[in-house]
Amino acid sequence: MTSKLLYDLFYYKTLITSFIAPKSSAAKALELYTTAPPSKKEPEWEIEFEKNVPYQILKVPFDKHIKEIEKRKEIEKSTPYEIVLIPSFPKELTVLEYLPNPNVPKREETIICVHGWGGRSLNFFKFIPKLQDKGFRVLAPDFPQHGKTDGPETGGHVFGHSINNLIRYVNGPVYLITHSLGNVAFCINYAISTEEERKLIKRYVGIAIPNEYNDIMVAFENLIGLSNRSHPYFVEENIKWLGEDFTKNMVFGEIVKNYNIPTLLIHDKNDKELDFDKALQTASLLPYKTYKINNNNNNNNNNNSNNNDNNSKPTFFISEGLGHRRIIRDDGIVDRVVEFLSEDIELQN
């Protein structure tokens, strides 16, 4: 009750203050937007997983990344979107590395698990062992101010730069699994990347997806109680970080389409943080609406409940009753994602 009361007091104070002083409130909101939320108690299942499943810690430096992005910033049109500002980074990004099961053939692709706002690497604890059993090396980063990584600031822009840095570190084919704000980070990585880096991403799974960057801003405004009067000023604050084109015009589905790679998007009808109707708009832009498993002799699992007669499966999968966070702990979702990433698939219109 105490935490709920404190949240309500903060929410209504922000609502009133931002109505009276919308511009200064927007600047204050950006400070919150680039600061991780207070840490919650770590779930018991994640604690047990960390104890029982071996991993190695990689420390990926940011110094070379900063120098590389500084070069791109000075060269016009070297990246899909203008680089306006380079965030402040910690010295290193902490990444948990899970090696493939030695008893199965090793895959050449590395899987990167991208957590969301207030999340951490171990949010993907249900995915990791099943991906290891398919022969994948799995990298699960803790983004700045989350998990085992500290840092002066955080947010979608910092997440996106961290992905870009990690892809360059791997320097080989990668598959991405992203959740919530991790999908915005996927887009920011696109915005600052070179063609060679974009070609390294071979498959993509996006869970709890936005439609436009504006959706993320509005979701945050609703979370903290920022009034509608502050919204234009909050947009201007974001432009200082990400540029006008990305802030006002970024459409998630268009970026996904530009990659032209096997893509699986997943969203829950009861997601209270990212509107389901917005996710439908994103799904409408997918160039391929279904896919088929070509070697499905060992895939007669519970995913088949959504198949049609020719074993086609949707590239936009809709769940119901899982919400925004439990969706990445659901066995059916996990199995669907692992199958999509590990099997030979054929995309269909």
In percent, the amount of the chain with pLDDT more than 70 equals: 93
In a domain, 301, yes or no: no
| Average pLDDT rounded to a whole number, residues 281-302 | 79
Q: Residue 4 has what pLDDT?
A: 62
Average pLDDT over residues 180-202: 98
At residue 3 the predicted structure's pLDDT band, cuts being 50, 70 and 90, is low
pTM: predicted TM-score of the whole model, two decimal places: 0.92
Tokens standing for 3? 């935490």
Element (H, E) at 240: helix 231-242
Q: How confident is the model at residue 6 (pLDDT cuts 50, 70, 90)?
A: low
Using CA atoms, how far apart are residues 145 and 154, in angstroms rounded to an integer?
Answer: 6
The answer as to whether 242 is a domain residue is: no
Cα separations in angstroms, 256 against 45, 153, 222, 283, 284: 33, 27, 26, 10, 11
Where does the pLDDT of residue 40 fall: very low under 50, low under 70, confident under 90, or very high at 90 and above? confident
Containing structural domain, residue 149: 46-212+250-294+312-348
Check which CATH number belongs to the domain holding 103 and give it. Answer: 3.40.50.1820
pLDDT score of 13: 85
Written as one string, the DSSP assignment of 151-169 is: -S--SHHHHHHHHHHHHHH
Q: Is the pLDDT of residue 159 over 70?
A: yes
Looking at residue 7, its pLDDT comes to 57
- Tell whether 191 is covered by a domain: yes
Residue 15 lies in a domain: no
Is 137 among the domain residues? yes
The number of distinct structural domains making up the chain is 1
What digits encode the pLDDT tens for the residues 301-347? 444 444 444 689 999 999 999 999 999 999 999 999 999 999 999 99
Q: Is 25 left (phi over 0), alpha (psi -120 to 50) or beta?
A: alpha
Answer whether residue 218 is part of any domain: no
Question: What is the tens place of the pLDDT at every residue in 54-90?
Answer: 999 999 999 999 999 999 999 999 999 999 999 999 9
Give the sign of the dihedral formed by CA 244, CA 89, CA 180, CA 177: positive
pLDDT at residue 252 tops 60: yes
Query: What is the average pLDDT across 6-24?
Result: 83
Q: Is residue 230 part of a domain?
A: no
Residue 280 near residue 209 (C-beta atoms within 8 A): no
Tokens coding 65:
């990344």
- Residue 306 domain-assigned (yes or no): no
The residue among 319, 316, 267, 266 whose CA lies nearest residue 288 is: 316
